Amino acid sequence: MTGTSHNIQQEIEHTHSLTAEPIFYIGNFAITNSLLNSWLVVIIIIIISLKIKRNIQIIPGKLQNFFEAIIEFFLEFFDSITGSREKSLKFFPFIFAFFLFIVLSNWMGLLPGVGSIGKVIEENGHLVFVPFFRGGTADLNSTLALAIIGVVTSHIVGVASIGIWNHLNKFINIKAILEIPRKIKEDKTVIMVNPIKALASLLEIITEIAKVVSLSFRLFGNIFAGEVLLASMAAILAFGLPIPFMFLEVLVGFVQALVFALLVLSYLVMSTEKH
Q: Where are the domains of the chain?
A: 2-271
pLDDT on residue 123: 65
Alpha carbon 81 to chain centroid, angstroms: 19
- Statement: residue 13 has pLDDT above 80: no
pLDDT on residue 95: 94
pLDDT bucket at 8, cuts 50 / 70 / 90: very low
pLDDT on residue 122: 66
pLDDT bucket at 4, cuts 50 / 70 / 90: very low
Segment 77-116, tens digit of pLDDT = 999 999 888 899 999 999 999 999 999 999 987 777 676 6
Mean pLDDT within 42-62: 85
pLDDT bucket at 264, cuts 50 / 70 / 90: very high
- Statement: residue 1 has pLDDT above 60: no
pLDDT averaged over the chain?
A: 82
- Statement: residue 209 has pLDDT above 70: yes
Mean pLDDT within 252-262: 93
pLDDT on residue 14: 58
- Statement: residue 31 has pLDDT above 90: no
- How far, in Å, CA of 176 to CA of 168, rounded? 12
- How far, in Å, CA of 73 to CA of 84, rounded? 15
Q: Which residue has the higher pLDDT, 44 or 59?
A: 44
Q: What is the 3-state secondary structure (H, E, C) of the chain?
A: CHHHHHHHHHCEECCCCCCCCEEEEECCEEEEHHHHHHHHHHHHHHHHHHHHHHCCCCCCCHHHHHHHHHHHHHHHHHHHHHCCHHHHHHHHHHHHHHHHHHHHHHHHCCCCCCCCCEEEEEECCEEEEEECCCCHHHCHHHHHHHHHHHHHHHHHHHHHHHCHHHHHCCCCCHHHHHHHHHHCCCCCCHHHHHHHHHHHHHHHHHHHHHHHHHHHHHHHHHHHHHHHHHHHHHHHCCCCCHHHHHHHHHHHHHHHHHHHHHHHHHHHHHHCCCC
32 - beta bridge partners?
Answer: 22
